[in-house]
Amino acid sequence: MIKCSFKDLKPYQQELLLEAEKAMDNAYCPYSGFSVGAALLTENNLTITGSNVENASYGITICAERAAIIRANALGKRRFKSIAVIAGSKKYNAKEPTAPCGACRQMLYESSVISERNIEIIISNTDKTNVIISSIIELLPLAFGPENLNNKNLNAG
């Protein structure tokens, strides 16, 4: 795990984080006021974004990371190199980055299996002064995945 600031990131990481920040503006979060933006980088260097969508029935709320994965899937993209996530609210400028929740980590792990790589995870606070670069394996050690189901025939798409 690497802790740094925006200026220390590689150019592609900066661009991905800026795309995640733009996606954050599209978050639908009338209940929590907590916006999250995510930007996935495919193996072909296409950026696909997502933002969180809340619902009055809280259980069907979807996180930005999963929204981006689902959007990518709808576009026929299933192989990723990296994801950037930025989160916060207008009322609260988070000092610490917000890491993906457990459900998002699980979906990112399965994406890493399909992608045949340990997907890079870039998380940032809202003013981009505190950035953490990690990986899905670091964030979800001892993950449950297709290999636990003896499924070796994933459609990598």
State the catalytic residues: 65
Beta strands, E only, 14-153? 34-42, 47-51, 80-89, 120-124, 131-135
Q: What's the rounded Cα separation, in Å, for the pair 69 and 103?
A: 12
5: how many CB neighbours lie within 10 A of its CB?
13
- Beta carbons within 8 Å of 59's beta carbon, 6+ residues apart: none
DSSP SS3 for 103 = helix
Q: Per DSSP, what are the bridge partners of residue 85?
A: 38, 123
The four Cα atoms 12, 61, 143, 37 give a dihedral, to 10 degrees, of 10
